[in-house]
Structure 1
Amino acid sequence: MVFLLCLLAGCSICWFNTVCFVLCIQNFPASRALALSLTVAFNGVSAALYTLAGNAIDPSSDDIYLLLNALVPLITSIVALLPILRQPSLDPLSPDGVRRDSIIFLILNFIAIFTGVYLLLFSSTSSNSTEASLLLGGALLLLMFPLCIPGVVYARDWFHHTIHSSFHLQGSGFILVDVDDLELHKELLTRELSNHENGDGGVAIQKSPREKEGCCETIVGKDRLIMLGEEHPASLLVRRLDFWLYYIAYFCGGTIGLVYSNNLGQIAQSLGQSKHTTTLLTMYSAFSFFGRLLSAAPDYLRVKMYFARTAWLTIALVPTPIAFFLLAISGSALALKIGTALVGLSSGFIFAAAVSITSELFGPNSIGVNHNILITNIPLGSLIYGLVAAIVYDSNASSVGLNIITDSVVCMGRKCYFLTFVWWGCLSVLGLGSSLLLFLRTRHAYDLFERNRISTQLY
């Protein structure tokens, strides 16, 4: 029964995510990254929200979580079905419409940040059902507040003149490819490449054999992407080196963070921190939420600090190996909390940014199929990483002696997860290296697109 429930839940997650991603890309072509980051971000507060709801209904019952997981998604899906079926016509937005969307998304990000802070501070502090009910009511009000968007739209003029102008938002896309402008960018890119080929050849996509300087230059330059937004059917996608670098970066980054969260209760128990399990789960959920929101930061920082989105992915992977090596070195409560926060922040950023990266590198119209191919690494990684962790756990439980509690084998001490943390840390370093190589291979395409975007705005 548990296996069947997990199977159904896994299938429903894929379906929910795919529908949400496709709807965001279709309805917000100029603000995809911002819409996607918000959509994925609220997945990160589900644990804290369910904790509040469970404490409000019956703090002593664990079965209430199963009931909530059965009813809440069903009810919210029925409510969301109405606006999904009655979508407005997808006409191209005017410049004023793009600016309006950027204002709305900026406000929504502030609301989301406040919601995350609220859940982080109060979700695990309620001591009785009355207090938990009040806190749950506050959380629901914050979650319902974005429905007041019509009022926000009417107030946009005031906001634009007082606050929005200081951000210098040019549209709201980082370097996402607008489908309507794709042909124009193709034409500009073809013209630029032709000029380079007829000129001194200083910037060529593939260098001649005499210009190659070694193995690294070959790896970086061979068959790399020439432009962003080019559609890749599945048959072409799996033949791309860039895709497999991307796959490894996700497999050895975000997926490890997800497996860590799934084992967090057992990890806390082994380190003698069982009383902090709820706090740790809430902390992971909250920092994952903030990481998902941070994935939209490049869209607002583009004017002052420009990086390719694959560069931001590389930066986001840095905290993961730091966290696992810290956990391997120290088993203290402080190290466990810091490591959990770092893993949550890193994996949250990756989960949200990955959808935009897939759209940019392999085409927005193929996102539904291509991103589902990418996230096949999640069940694969969950199986492999979870199996290795279980083998290490059981072997150490046998060596230190068995503690039988309700017919379960319990391993206590740092050695229960020491090798697992080292293993995960080394793999996350591999993911970091793969992400860095992906950035080096795609930087040229991002730079070309940014230059073409600026040139189209000037003229």
Structure 2
Amino acid sequence: MTHKLKALFNDPWLVFVCAMWIQSVAGVGYLFGGSMSPVIKTSLGYNQKQIALLGVAKNLGDAIGFVSGALSEVSPSWMVLLVGAAQNLVGYGAVWLVVTGLLPNLPLWMLFVAIFVGTNGETYYNTASLVSCIHNFPESRGPVVGILKGFSGLSGAILTQVYLMLNPSHDSSVILMVAVGPPVVVLALLFIVRPVERSCRTNLRSDDLRFMAIYGFCVVLAVYLLGILVIQSLVDITQTIITTSGAILVILMVVPVLVPSASVFISGNPTLMKPEERTSKVDDQNEVKTLIERNDMLPEKRRGPCIGEDFTLLQALGQADFWLIFMSLVLGVGSGIMVIDNLGQICYSLGYNNTKVFVSLISISNFLGRVAGGYFSELIIRKLSLPRTLAMSAVQAMMSLGLVYYAIDWPGKIYVVTIVIGMGYGAHWAIAPASVSDIFGLKSFGSLYNFQIIALPVGSFVFSGVVASNIYDYYARKQAGTTTESESLVCAGSVCYSVTCGLMSVVCLMAMALSLSVVYRTRRFYLRLHKT
């Protein structure tokens, strides 16, 4: 039994399941707008501009992950997770103490720093989980990134259900849960989520079967959560039902541990590879990749890493492929975040007063998009020997069609744009990081991934904060018959966002063109890599 438990502790599938659990509580920022900001506003007497400024702190904390990326290159995973848990606890713990009056009222800038620090903790969770699991499953990067990022996107819904299940007596308890809950989960799994030694014979078929089991679980979880969220939005239900549904959710979250347990206790765990054997195997793979790319190069040009080798962040910044993927991500993600940021206003402009259903729908679509994006991008590599970014270009074409559907004002457009954009936006976060790891290696993946995240605030600022808001205000003033700006102006009708969606459809086509350029530039690498 002791040998079995040791084998389970060192099983990469246990690492993956525990990383899923960490990711399911990592998205603390998702609770800010709907749950935490109203409490802060009421308790501290802030106006909407001050709350919006704190929202900027949350967005910056969620996007700036350079420190966590750099730390992952020089420190073990447990250290990265520990720093993230400390930031999470200190940042949101300070906010809770201020809101409850246990600390004197702090200046706005200090709360700004606290929220930034608290939210920035999740970048450490994301980095440690992704880096560890991609190292453990280098042949399945698409599914790994897709599933982990999917649970990160779904964490807001999961934490909300846990909070409702606890039924706290004070609204400020949601901030306490955000401050304490994720660090507790992370500390419990601190020494499990890490790179581990794979078996001497990695069975891709066996891995694929286990991934299919995880995919099945993801679908069941998504359907269950969607059902709960829709029922809660449309019907008043008792606390007993809420508690029961929350308990079922917790049980569902534990189910994936059956995958590594079955691997160890039923089918038997393969003998772990000795360190020198593992090093030899990795070196052989790297040597194959190196020879593939360097055979066609003249001796005088063989300087620095080649495509498929390990790049540092600075080296990657000097590569055209890296910037093409990044700009494609800015345009594609920016189009998606425009719809997500303005979904409430879009619903109100079309006469839908209950926006919670659509918020729930786009959240679940986001989750499914991340999971599906990772799966299909892996199929494109394995079955067709084509670059992974081909999947991203297909997603961007789909998003463009969805936005055109809204712009033309066809029936059911709100449902179409919610589902299509939710899935398309989510798929970007599965495909782009995996593509970067393919092309620029795993050694500095933490830093490369955290640089990519910058695409989110850039896209949000340009397409949501500038383009969408100005067009909305223009039509609102036009309907009101005034040229003066006022916060009380409201736009009604599909025209409020139809022009914006039309423009965003063109932006998605531009993103698709950039993705296809990467497909063209890397096609030989993926073809030869598949043959090896």
Residue 70 of structure 1, CA deviation: 5.0
Secondary structure, in 3 states, of the residue corresponding to 1:124? helix
Show the counterpart of 1:323.
402
Shift of 1:122: 2.8
Paired position in structure 1 for 2:230: 124
Is residue 365 of structure 2 the alignment partner of residue 365 of structure 1? Answer: no
Distance in 2 separating the partners of 1:243 and 1:400: 44
Q: Is the 8 A contact 2:131 2:445 kept in 1?
A: yes
Partner-residue secondary structure (3-state), 2:444:
helix
Structure 2 counterpart of 1:135: 245
Deviation, structure 1 residue 16 = 3.0
Q: Map residues 8-47 of structure 1 onto 2, 5 A cutoff.
A: 8=58, 9-10=61-62, 11-47=120-156
State whether residues 37 and 353 of structure 1, in contact with CA within 8 Å, keep that contact through their aligned partners in structure 2: yes
Q: Which residue of 1 aligns with 2:513?
A: 433
| Counterpart-to-counterpart distance in 2, 1:301 and 1:241 | 23
Partners of 2:185 and 2:163 in 1: CA distance: 22
Deviation at 1:28, TM superposition (A): 3.2
CA distance in 1, matches of 2:437, 2:382: 22
Alignment partner of 1:185 is 2:288: yes
The one of 293, 310, 314 aligned to 1:235:
314
Cα pair 1:41 1:293 within 8 Å, conserved: yes
Matched, 1:336 2:414: yes
Deviates more, 1:148-157 or 1:357-366: 148-157
Native 8 Å contact 1:45 1:286 kept in 2: yes
**Residues 47 and 282, structure 1, Cα contact 8 Å, conserved in 2:** no
Which range moves more in the overlay, 346-355 or 67-76? 67-76
Match of 2:29 in 1: none
Write the letter of the residue equivalent to 2:54: L
C-alpha separation in 1, matches of 2:187 and 2:429:
24
Question: 2:54 corresponds to which residue?
Answer: 4
Query: Displacement, 1:271?
Result: 1.3
Q: C-alpha displacement at 1:395, in angstroms?
A: 1.6
Instruction: Indicate the SS of the match to 1:31.
Output: helix
Cα separation, 2, equivalents of 1:192 and 1:138: 56
- Find the aligned partners of 1:22 and 1:254 in 2 and give their Cα distance: 22
CA-to-partner distance for each residue in 1:128-166, whole Å, 9 max, x for gaps? 1333332222222211212334432147649xxxxxxxx
How far off its partner does 1:328 sit? 1.1
Rounded Cα–Cα distance in structure 1 between residues aligned with 2:192 and 2:264:
22
SS of structure 1 residue aligned to 2:489: strand
Give, in whole Å, the separation in 2 of the partners of 1:353 and 1:73. 31
Query: Cα offset for 1:342?
Result: 0.6
- Tell me which moved more, 306-315 or 89-98: 89-98
- State which of 212, 231, 239 in structure 2 corresponds to 1:106: 212
Provide the secondary structure at the position in 1 that maps to 2:255.
helix
State percent identity of aligned pairs.
Answer: 24
Aligned length: 401
For residue 289 of structure 2, what is the amino acid of its counterpart? K
Equivalent of residue 524 in structure 2, options 434, 441, 444: 444
Which of 231, 244, 254 is matched with 2:333 structurally? 254
1:253 deviates by 0.8
Distance 1:402 1:57, change over 3 A: farther
| Aligned match of 2:460 | 382
Q: State the Cα distance separating 1:118 from its structure 2 match.
A: 1.5
Cα 1:284–1:427 change in 2 (3 A) is same
Supply the distance in 2 between the matched residues of 1:82 and 1:54 (Cα, whole angstroms): 20
Q: How far apart in 1 are the matches of 2:286 and 2:357?
A: 51
State the 1:190 CA deviation: 5.5
Q: What is the correspondence of 1:75-224 to structure 2 with a 5 Å cutoff? A: 75-85=181-191, 90-96=196-202, 100-126=206-232, 127=235, 128=237, 129-154=239-264, 157=267, 179-186=282-289, 188-189=291-292, 193=296
- 1:53–1:132 Cα contact (<8 Å) kept: no
Seen in structure 2, the aligned counterparts of structure 1 residues 425 and 187 have a Cα distance that, compared at 3 Å, is: closer
Distance 1:87 1:123, change over 3 A: closer
Query: How far apart in 1 are the matches of 2:382 and 2:508?
Result: 31
Per the TM alignment, residue 408 of structure 1 is displaced from its structure 2 partner at its CA by: 3.6
Secondary structure at the aligned position of 2:231 is classed as coil
Gaps of 5+ in 1: 159-177, 198-205, 207-222, 454-459
Q: Is the 8 A contact 2:380 2:391 kept in 1?
A: no
Task: Report the residue type matching 1:380 in the other structure.
Answer: V
Cα distance in structure 1, aligned partners of 2:320 and 2:56: 33
- Mapped contact 2:286–2:309 kept (Cα < 8 A): no
Is residue 100–residue 153 contact of structure 1 (8 Å, CA) maintained in 2?
Answer: no
Q: Aligned equivalents of 2:452 and 2:378: distance in 1?
A: 23
Q: Supply the distance in 1 between the matched residues of 2:190 and 2:340 (Cα, whole angstroms).
A: 32
Q: Deviations over 1:421-454 (max 9, x none)?
A: 1221111111011111111111111111111x2x
Give the alignment partner of residue 71 of structure 1, picking from 159, 162, 177: 177
Structure 1 residues 96 and 368 mapped into 2: Cα distance closer, same or farther (>3 Å)?
closer
Alpha-carbon separation, structure 2, partners of 1:301 and 1:417 = 35
| 2:504 paired residue among 403, 408, 424 | 424
User: Residue in 1 aligned with 2:44?
Assistant: none
Partner of 1:94: helix, strand, or coil?
coil
1:104, 1:153 within 8 Å by CA — same for their partners in 2?
no
TM-score by length of 1: 0.77
